[in-house]
Amino acid sequence: MNSSKQILFLALTIIYCCMSNQVYSQEKRVSTADFGTLDDGKKVEKFTLRNSKGMEVDLITYGATITKISVPDRKGKFENVIHASETFSDYLVKFPAASAIGRFANRIERGQFSIDDQQYNVTINNGKNHLHGGNKGFAKVVWDAEILDSKDQPAGIKFSYFSADGEEGFPGNLKVSVTYILSDNNELILNYEASTDKPTIVNLTNHAYFDLSGSSDISSHILQLNSGHYTPVNQELIPTGEIKSVKNTPFDFNAPVAINARLVELDPDPKKAYYDHNFVLRNNGKELLNLGELYYPLNGRLMTVKTTLPGVQLYTGNKVGICLETQYYPNSINEPKFPSPIIRPNEPHKSTTIFGFSIR
């Protein structure tokens, strides 16, 4: 083979290898599989996102739900750090899942609110109140999915859902999306968007139950929150409208403290002692705020949380994980002093929350 043919052969080989590596890289970053089937025959898909560090995130179209966040500990052991199941039927019952929550996360007192002097009544599904979007909300429906896998950007999945005017009692046709992006910095980025054709309310979050131990050891987690205030609640967990300082209370997590260290101050009965409270972040809604971190010292896993939203709900009630639900305040539509969750046709909703994972 003469030199010119050798050069041509080498060039073609390099091009082929590059193309092969590109295809392999794309296949490695995103894969799909069937996850289950609803009674009406509708298929539920699972997507797996992978980054260059070996981190994996599984997502399903049912509820735009996260079913796995696999990250290493200080010994390099990868484990799922959210409460989840590999069995689809679990998600069809009352299962604590990392689903997208809407139209309105948390509670609305008596399921009633007014916009522009028009009163609305939404589903009552939590005693006398509305909780997490109603009987189905956004967590019990199948979302459309679009794979985002550009070589110049981190891979992701965009889930979209159309909520018709009157669904669960909420006004306005709502187009909503949540995009999950996995970066090579071991960050899971959640971008929320919603637009409407008439004034309505939107409060979108994810209800992930984090367990950095990988073994349901919730009590040994250390929490730190950059919040000086919280919103006190009544016996029905509806905010009283006050915004109180966390100083000298069991709600002060400005310095890292074990999650269960002061539960007795909430209630002497261990069965009733848990957090289900909103912490005030004083965010401007545009810039990402570092709201704090969750740490498991026995294996070194550390999770940081950033958000553009004004509050975060800390929930530890069912003992299977720790929820940090970035949000508008509970019942904010009925409290003029709280940040408003109202959106209008020319004022869409956009927010971002980022969960970052590392080792300490």
Q: What six digits make up the tokens of 155? A: 């891979």
The model's confidence at residue 4, banded by pLDDT at 50, 70 and 90, is low
Residue 27 lies in a domain: no
Residue 271 pLDDT more than 90?
Answer: no
Residue 332 pLDDT more than 80?
Answer: yes
Residue 217 lies in a domain: yes
Residue 44 pLDDT more than 80?
Answer: yes
The model's confidence at residue 292, banded by pLDDT at 50, 70 and 90, is very high
The model's confidence at residue 10, banded by pLDDT at 50, 70 and 90, is very low
Residue 24 pLDDT more than 80?
Answer: no
What length does the chain have?
Answer: 360
Q: CA-to-CA distance for 310 and 356, rounded, in angstroms?
A: 19
Q: What is the pLDDT of residue 2?
A: 54
Please state the rounded mean pLDDT for residues 158-178.
Answer: 98
Domain that holds residue 267: 38-359
Please state the rounded mean pLDDT for residues 121-132.
Answer: 98
Per-residue pLDDT tens for 195-247? 999 999 999 999 999 999 998 899 999 999 999 999 999 999 999 999 999 99
Residue 14 pLDDT more than 50?
Answer: no
State the pTM of this model: 0.91
Residue 12 pLDDT more than 60?
Answer: no
Task: Verify whether residue 325 is a known catalytic residue.
Answer: yes
Residue 20 lies in a domain: no
Q: CA-to-CA distance for 354 and 206, rounded, in angstroms?
A: 11
Q: CA-to-CA distance for 271 and 292, rounded, in angstroms?
A: 27
Specify the amino acid at residue 133: G
Strand partners, 281: none
Per-residue pLDDT tens for 315-329? 998 889 999 999 999
Please state the rounded mean pLDDT for residues 42-64.
Answer: 97
Please state the rounded mean pLDDT for residues 11-31.
Answer: 52
What is the per-residue burial (b if ≥16 Cβ within 10 Å, else e) of 84-104? beeebeebeeeebbbbbbbbb
Residue 91 lies in a domain: yes
Residue 5 lies in a domain: no
Residue 9 pLDDT more than 50?
Answer: no
The model's confidence at residue 282, banded by pLDDT at 50, 70 and 90, is confident
Residue 13 pLDDT more than 80?
Answer: no
The model's confidence at residue 8, banded by pLDDT at 50, 70 and 90, is very low
Element (H, E) at 101: strand 100-101
Task: Verify whether residue 349 is a known catalytic residue.
Answer: no
Domain count, the chain: 1
Residue 11 lies in a domain: no
Q: What is the pLDDT of residue 307?
A: 97
Please state the rounded mean pLDDT for residues 286-296.
Answer: 94
What's the CATH code of the domain at 228?
2.70.98.10
Percentage of residues in the chain having pLDDT higher than 70: 92
Residue 12 lies in a domain: no
Please state the rounded mean pLDDT for residues 12-36.
Answer: 61
Please state the rounded mean pLDDT for residues 3-21.
Answer: 45
Q: What is the pLDDT of residue 1?
A: 52
Please state the rounded mean pLDDT for residues 300-323.
Answer: 96
Average of per-residue pLDDT values in the chain: 92
> Annotated catalytic residue: which of 193, 325, 335, 349?
325
Whose CA is closest to 203, among 100, 94, 63?
Answer: 100
Residue 1 lies in a domain: no
Percentage of residues in the chain having pLDDT higher than 90: 87
> Annotated catalytic residue: which of 130, 207, 221, 349?
207
Quickly list DSSP for 219-234: TT-EEEE--SEEE-B-
